[in-house]
Amino acid sequence: MAVGWSRDEAVQDQIDATVASAVQLAKSRLPEGQSLTHCEECDLEIPEARRRAVPGVRLCVKCQSEREKRQKTVAFYNRRGSKDSQLK
């Protein structure tokens, strides 16, 4: 139930927009094009199964994992909030 001047579906619209934004961000991070046969960072061979599973793969699993650890995580809205904030 929305309060104030918002219509009843405004909260769900905001949730839908946040989810759509997160999906779009995730899709933009997917590799594209031809997969490499060797990792562009460590030059080890990328297994055939990985190249078939992830089109456009450029890194081996180890290098990809290390890169993901270094990436800053995007923080979205905290939808859980405290119970008091939901009772206003």
Evaluate whether residue 85 is within a structural domain.
no
Evaluate whether residue 14 is within a structural domain.
yes
Counting the structural domains of the chain, the total is 1
Per-residue confidence (pLDDT) for residue 79, from 0 to 100:
55
Indicate the Cα dihedral angle 82, 88, 1, 74, nearest 10°: -40
Where residue 74 falls among pLDDT bands split at 50, 70, 90?
low
Evaluate whether residue 81 is within a structural domain.
no
Residue-wise pLDDT for 2-61, tens only, equals 455 666 677 888 888 899 999 999 888 887 889 999 999 999 999 999 999 888 999 999
Q: Which domain holds residue 24?
A: 10-75
In 10 A of CB 70, how many CB atoms?
Answer: 6
Evaluate whether residue 62 is within a structural domain.
yes
pLDDT reading at 82 higher than 70: no
Evaluate whether residue 87 is within a structural domain.
no
Where residue 71 falls among pLDDT bands split at 50, 70, 90?
confident
Evaluate whether residue 5 is within a structural domain.
no
Nearest in space to 58 (alpha carbons), one of 25, 33, 27, 28:
33
Evaluate whether residue 44 is within a structural domain.
yes
The residue that leads in pLDDT, 48 or 80, is: 48
Evaluate whether residue 36 is within a structural domain.
yes
